[in-house]
């Protein structure tokens, strides 16, 4: 049995659900959503470490069509976001379109029939259009540390938290000081017998300003949608204003840097510890983190900061790059994700028998951060240059989904046409990104970050502009980015049913 569909969406996180909603609102109901997990939610299903939460304000981290008056806090905890996405899928009636526990094992463009043939390990899928909504924070990055396999105790990545491991009273080591680590370290410091934190590079951290929404506030948001809309608009404007400090505006960056340094000074009294926690690179070069309890945890005496990377493992002995040796019972890798080299790229094969990974061998490229030359009738959401360091990524997903729907409408006006992105359009867009990023801290700030692909030195994850600029860029796309060649007459696929 084979499923034949107009659109196959791979992934049921924010991007996949956003694409499904955009199709529905455009009157396109012939689609399926392939999800490898047992439920929707993507990264918010997979990340269950202690303290997991969003670092974008709750009322901005959601779909415009589905405001949630009942967020419990200014920054929603992970389980709450997972429940929100599950509720969206139910409210939108997407259950019959979902194929849970159905991973994409491969997707091949069939040029003769002008369709995508998708392997799942079960029922094959044939789709006119393929939408990759796989996310960029899905596959943990496990560093190649000599001797890691000799560690005798529990070892796991923060995104694959092992809740069966008892941590109380044990010697725990955490590797990494990124976004996940600053959330989980304060939680572990409360229970571990001893906690060591291996820090390769300190992060710029600014106050989080966490607060909860009272029942009265939640009721008011529910009864007065206009008030909730005004709050969302204000949060959006605040986010757009942050772009200046993240992207290298000298005055804005200096002001933000002073806020971060004052935050550090107010929470860490020891000069030596404070120096070890002070970044030596430009503000904004790496992801700016939000926390009110990380510095107090590190300064409390419950955490031993090792200001260098974990260099080797010899049984239960962890050896730092500085030569420090630490005995540990449990090892937690808060080492991020394979973001710049997406795992799904190896599974997708387009024209000329080239995989997406081969096309992206020098770093991800696209037109409009959404379509890729050599891969007809395909859209990538949350992929090349679609991430943000200053505002909600959900806003970008919504714009990409809207662009994809417009492109499909253009194709419909040309019976038998295929959406084939012109290589020249992709090259021009890539040059735009390179030129816009050239003077930013992401390129010149003196750090190593996950925004830049090490193979080419290009900015491949972040959009180097505001959300409004992205909206305007996609709105200006008029279809000239495509080669309008006709597809073969469809039919004759005897395995269809």
Residue 105's SS3 state is: coil
Superfamily of chain region 3-139+338-486: FAD/NAD(P)-binding domain (3.50.50.60)
Q: What is the mean pLDDT of residues 306-325?
A: 97
CA distance 353 to 171: 50
pLDDT at position 474 is 97
Q: Is the pLDDT of residue 169 over 70?
A: yes
pLDDT at position 171 is 98
Query: Strands, DSSP E only, in 268-401?
Result: 289-290, 303-306, 310-314, 317-320, 325-327, 330-333, 348-349, 378-380
For a pLDDT cut of 90, what percent of the chain falls above it? Answer: 94
Measured CA to CA in angstroms, residue 435 lies from 246, 421, 429, 432, 486 at distances of 17, 21, 10, 5, 34
pLDDT at position 135 is 87
Containing 274, the helix (H) or strand (E) segment is: helix 271-276
Residue indicated by tokens 């491991």 = 165
141 alpha-carbon distance from chain centroid: 14
- Tokens representing residue 177 in the block: 């000081």
Give which of 37, 126, 8 is closest to 493, Cα–Cα.
126
pLDDT class for 491, splitting at 50, 70, 90? Answer: very low
Q: How many CA atoms lie within 13 A of 58 on its CB side?
A: 26
pLDDT at position 136 is 84
- Tokens representing residue 181 in the block: 């680590």
- Tokens representing residue 275 in the block: 């120096």
For residues 125 and 3, the answer to whether their CB atoms sit within 8 Å is: yes
CATH 3.50.50.60 fits 148-204+249-333, yes or no: yes
The pTM for the full model equals: 0.95
Angle at 313 between CA 312 and CA 319, to 5 degrees: 60
Within this chain, domains 3-139+338-486 and 148-204+249-333 share the same CATH topology: yes
Residue pLDDT, tens place only, 276-314: 999 999 999 999 999 999 999 999 999 999 999 999 999
pLDDT at position 281 is 97
Length of the chain: 497
For residues 82 and 45, the answer to whether their CB atoms sit within 8 Å is: yes
pLDDT at position 134 is 94
- Give the residue ranges of DSSP H helices in 392-422: 393-412
Residue pLDDT, tens place only, 408-440: 999 999 988 999 999 999 999 999 999 999 999
pLDDT at position 486 is 56
Containing 194, the helix (H) or strand (E) segment is: strand 194-198
pLDDT at position 485 is 66
Residue 168's SS3 state is: strand
Q: What is the mean pLDDT of residues 336-354?
A: 92
pLDDT at position 496 is 33
pLDDT at position 96 is 94
CA distance 56 to 438: 26
Residue pLDDT, tens place only, 36-78: 999 999 999 999 999 999 999 999 999 999 999 999 999 999 9
The mean pLDDT of the chain is 95
pLDDT class for 338, splitting at 50, 70, 90? Answer: confident
pLDDT at position 339 is 83
Residue pLDDT, tens place only, 219-272: 999 999 999 999 999 999 999 999 999 999 999 999 999 999 999 999 999 999
For residues 421 and 367, the answer to whether their CB atoms sit within 8 Å is: yes
User: What residue ranges do the domains of the chain occupy?
Assistant: 3-139+338-486, 148-204+249-333
């Amino acid at each position: 049995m084979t499923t034949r569909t107009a659109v196959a969406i791979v992934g049921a996180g924010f991007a996949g659900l956003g694409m499904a909603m955009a199709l529905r609102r455009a009157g396109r109901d012939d689609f399926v959503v392939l999800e490898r997990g047992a439920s929707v939610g993507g990264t918010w299903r997979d990340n269950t470490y202690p303290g997991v939460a969003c670092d974008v304000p709750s009322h901005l981290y959601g779909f415009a069509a589905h405001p949630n008056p009942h967020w419990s806090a200014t920054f929603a905890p992970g389980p709450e976001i997972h429940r929100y996405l599950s509720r969206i899928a139910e409210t939108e009636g997407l259950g019959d379109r979902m194929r849970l526990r159905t991973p994409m094992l491969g997707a091949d463009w069939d040029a003769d029939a002008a369709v995508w043939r998708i392997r799942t390990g079960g029922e094959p899928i044939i789709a006119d259009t393929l939408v990759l909504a796989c996310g960029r924070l899905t596959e943990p990055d496990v560093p190649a540390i000599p001797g890691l396999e000799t560690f005798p105790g529990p070892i796991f990545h923060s995104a694959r938290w092992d809740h069966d491991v008892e941590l109380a009273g044990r010697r725990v080591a955490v590797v990494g000081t990124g976004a996940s680590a600053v959330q989980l370290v304060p939680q572990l410091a409360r229970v571990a017998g001893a906690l060591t934190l291996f820090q390769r590079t300190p992060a710029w951290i600014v106050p989080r300003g966490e607060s909860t929404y009272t029942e009265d506030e939640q009721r008011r948001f529910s009864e007065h949608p206009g008030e909730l809309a005004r709050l969302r608009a204000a949060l959006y404007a605040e986010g757009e204003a942050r772009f200046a400090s993240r992207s290298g505006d000298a005055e804005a960056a200096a002001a933000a840097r002073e806020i971060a340094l004052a935050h550090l000074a107010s929470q860490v009294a020891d000069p030596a510890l404070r120096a070890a926690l002070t970044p030596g690179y430009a503000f904004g070069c790496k992801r700016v983190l939000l926390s009110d309890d990380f510095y107090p945890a590190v300064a409390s005496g419950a955490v031993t900061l090792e200001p260098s990377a974990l260099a080797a493992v010899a049984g239960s002995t962890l050896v730092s790059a500085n030569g420090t040796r630490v005995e540990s019972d449990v090892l937690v890798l808060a080492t991020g994700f394979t973001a710049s080299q997406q795992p799904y790229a190896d599974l997708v094969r387009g024209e000329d028998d080239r995989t997406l990974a081969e096309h992206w061998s020098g770093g991800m490229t696209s037109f409009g951060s959404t379509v890729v030359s050599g891969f007809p009738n395909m859209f990538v959401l949350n992929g090349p240059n679609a991430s943000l360091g200053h505002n909600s990524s959900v806003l970008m997903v919504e714009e990409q989904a809207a662009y994809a729907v417009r492109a499909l409408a253009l194709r419909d006006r040309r019976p038998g046409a295929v959406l084939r992105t012109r290589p020249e359009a992709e090259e021009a867009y890539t040059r735009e990104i390179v030129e816009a990023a050239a003077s930013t801290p992401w390129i010149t700030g003196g750090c190593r970050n996950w925004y830049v692909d090490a193979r080419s030195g290009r900015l491949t994850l972040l959009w180097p502009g505001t959300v409004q600029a992205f909206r305007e860029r996609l709105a200006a796309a008029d279809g000239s980015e495509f080669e309008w060649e006709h597809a073969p007459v469809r039919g004759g696929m005897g395995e269809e049913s």
